Chain A
């Protein structure tokens, strides 16, 4: 496995643990269709939460949150719609969250959670 995929995988694991600790129920991980991939699908109360996890190993190229572009958000919206269609679900609310995972060599990894990014 290439390093960057391993880093991403590790970040997603970390994000899942974080979400579970926050009281989210994880419904699905790495769900794919031809539009792309949803990293984590979770449920918080009545709300379906589509999560994008972005992992970086330093701030040299900016914070992980900054790499989420308008285009990425648009894709996430479409993916959310497709996921609901596929699963025939009608949740009370839908939300898109971003989880920025940052781990440097010398500090413990951190998870920055932005609720309702779009």
Chain B
């Protein structure tokens, strides 16, 4: 049989495309050609496969071998086609049955000694194979954990080409030394959700209220205050307040992480909302995704359904920060590169933290701010208006010295998380027929039409709008936060009190009761 086929998967972003791997052995002097737009790492597959086949005790055909990857117009990248290429080739050479090959998809990189190495994105590839109706897939043993998370497909984890061949021939599968996992130090530190409890935060009544509301409604959050006041501490505890991911979200987040190489080798599904904290020097493409040729997910996609925390946000390049605007609205990001256009999910909760000024003392009692007005103005402009406008909740975090004496025993994460869960359940129920999950996701027009505030609250906000204290977008955002506060209290509709609080949360004013608040401009009579 001079011709044989099997299947593998190409990833464009998170989307998997089935790739037919064909091998043809023709008359001619020994030469191996690989066609179907391979990139450099894939072109090297010829030499890897050759060595692996020989070192697995098989004979590499002494003929003109053509390996075709189709669809031929889709640019292919990566080393995970090796196993499929080796099998198609050996089937074409007549040493393997072709029947079983046509029903399997195969992924895995080959070592020169014939061992099968792990690859990135195995989860998304398995998902694609399963959706295309494949009953089984061969994956490297180290990726078998994540691949098995996909329902409805038999996953065969293999350690070597010898094992693959034995499996296809139905002979006894030889034992091999277990694969050595590559060190994953970097990834672990990237996705690790800090093991911290809200109990440890003393005082900070307003800060706690802010992160509770943010977690409940999925609102973007801005924390500002002098150094050491506890902004980072609060932000790190935010992830703990959020409930586990739903099954669908969990699969989607795991697929992104698999592609980004963040999944650990024991490969459990990602069930906790990810907490991603890129440094403020992060480049544009590391944030939104990119890379040469084939696009890869960036930090915002890794933070999908979780938290993107940017500490010292004004230190970040304003242009970089501004690229978040579009994904903040749409919940996904489209990355265009020469080889492909990839669409990655990016529905994350943005948490920004900032000092009040470069010296950090403005507005505190700890010292006198030495920044000139120009310096202050420039510093505040670093976070652009459009970004600020999208932050539903803005809170000043005061140093603990001033707020530590609240006299309350701090609530633990478990207690607050339970309230958050109840509030999210209420939202899920309210929006059950619409497809939205959180208050922050409901579009403005729908919000105004289907979930209006009571007359008193509405009038208050209209007055504030007329007085120029909130923008039109801000109007809707206050309404969303008001709904979240109502959900947290378990009441059916935001009261005027809660709407007022939502307004204060949004504008960053200190929280006061409506009764003893300063008279609001524009709300007279």
Interfacial residues, chain A to chain B (CB-CB below 8 A) = 63, 65-66, 68, 73, 98, 100, 112, 114-118
A14 to B: closest C-beta gap in Å: 18
- Please measure, in the bound complex, the distance between the C-alpha atom of A115 and the C-alpha atom of B28, giving whole angstroms: 7
- B29 interface residue per 8 A CB criterion: yes
- Please measure, in the bound complex, the distance between the C-alpha atom of A73 and the C-alpha atom of B64, giving whole angstroms: 15
User: Given that A100-B62, A112-B62, A114-B63 are contacting pairs, would A66 and B30 also be in contact in the complex, using a CB cutoff of 8 Å?
Assistant: yes
Chain B residues positioned under 8 Å from A100 (CB to CB)? 62
Q: A66-B30, A98-B29 are in contact. List 12 more A-B contacts (CB 8 A).
A: A63-B30, A65-B62, A66-B62, A68-B29, A73-B29, A100-B62, A112-B62, A114-B27, A116-B27, A116-B28, A117-B28, A118-B29
Q: Which 5 A-B pairs have the closest CB atoms?
A: A63-B62, A65-B62, A66-B30, A65-B30, A117-B29
Interfacial residues, chain B to chain A (CB-CB below 8 A) = 27-30, 62-63
Chain A residues positioned under 8 Å from B27 (CB to CB)? 114-116
A108 to B: closest C-beta gap in Å: 17
- Please measure, in the bound complex, the distance between the C-alpha atom of A100 and the C-alpha atom of B27, giving whole angstroms: 13
Residue of B nearest to A73 (CB): B29
Residue of B nearest to A69 (CB): B29
A59 to B: closest C-beta gap in Å: 9
Chain B residues positioned under 8 Å from A66 (CB to CB)? 29-30, 62
- Please measure, in the bound complex, the distance between the C-alpha atom of A14 and the C-alpha atom of B369, giving whole angstroms: 98
Residue of B nearest to A117 (CB): B29
B428 to A: closest C-beta gap in Å: 66
A8 to B: closest C-beta gap in Å: 19
Q: Which of B27, B29, B30, B62 has the most CB of A within 10 A?
A: B29
- Please measure, in the bound complex, the distance between the C-alpha atom of A65 and the C-alpha atom of B62, giving whole angstroms: 7
A109 to B: closest C-beta gap in Å: 16
Q: What are 23 A-to-B residue pairs whose CB atoms are below 8 Å? A: A63-B30, A63-B62, A65-B29, A65-B30, A65-B62, A66-B29, A66-B30, A66-B62, A68-B29, A73-B29, A98-B29, A100-B62, A112-B62, A114-B27, A114-B28, A114-B29, A114-B63, A115-B27, A116-B27, A116-B28, A117-B28, A117-B29, A118-B29
Chain B residues positioned under 8 Å from A118 (CB to CB)? 29
Chain A residues positioned under 8 Å from B63 (CB to CB)? 114
A18 to B: closest C-beta gap in Å: 16
Residue of B nearest to A62 (CB): B30
B32 to A: closest C-beta gap in Å: 11
A70 to B: closest C-beta gap in Å: 9
Residue of B nearest to A113 (CB): B27
B60 to A: closest C-beta gap in Å: 9
A53 to B: closest C-beta gap in Å: 14
- Please measure, in the bound complex, the distance between the C-alpha atom of A65 and the C-alpha atom of B65, giving whole angstroms: 14
- Please measure, in the bound complex, the distance between the C-alpha atom of A114 and the C-alpha atom of B61, giving whole angstroms: 12
- Please measure, in the bound complex, the distance between the C-alpha atom of A65 and the C-alpha atom of B63, giving whole angstroms: 8
- Please measure, in the bound complex, the distance between the C-alpha atom of A117 and the C-alpha atom of B27, giving whole angstroms: 7
Q: Which of A100, A112, A114, A117 has the most CB of B within 10 A?
A: A114
Q: Which of B27, B62, B63 has the most CB of A within 10 A?
A: B62
Chain A residues positioned under 8 Å from B30 (CB to CB)? 63, 65-66
- Please measure, in the bound complex, the distance between the C-alpha atom of A66 and the C-alpha atom of B28, giving whole angstroms: 11
A13 to B: closest C-beta gap in Å: 22
A77 to B: closest C-beta gap in Å: 14
Chain B residues positioned under 8 Å from A112 (CB to CB)? 62
- Please measure, in the bound complex, the distance between the C-alpha atom of A117 and the C-alpha atom of B31, giving whole angstroms: 11
- Please measure, in the bound complex, the distance between the C-alpha atom of A68 and the C-alpha atom of B29, giving whole angstroms: 8
Residue of A nearest to B31 (CB): A66
Chain B residues positioned under 8 Å from A63 (CB to CB)? 30, 62
Residue of B nearest to A115 (CB): B27
- Please measure, in the bound complex, the distance between the C-alpha atom of A112 and the C-alpha atom of B29, giving whole angstroms: 11
- Please measure, in the bound complex, the distance between the C-alpha atom of A66 and the C-alpha atom of B50, giving whole angstroms: 14
- Please measure, in the bound complex, the distance between the C-alpha atom of A112 and the C-alpha atom of B27, giving whole angstroms: 11
Chain B residues positioned under 8 Å from A116 (CB to CB)? 27-28
Residue of B nearest to A112 (CB): B62
A118 to B: closest C-beta gap in Å: 8
- Please measure, in the bound complex, the distance between the C-alpha atom of A92 and the C-alpha atom of B29, giving whole angstroms: 24
- Please measure, in the bound complex, the distance between the C-alpha atom of A114 and the C-alpha atom of B30, giving whole angstroms: 10
Chain B residues positioned under 8 Å from A68 (CB to CB)? 29
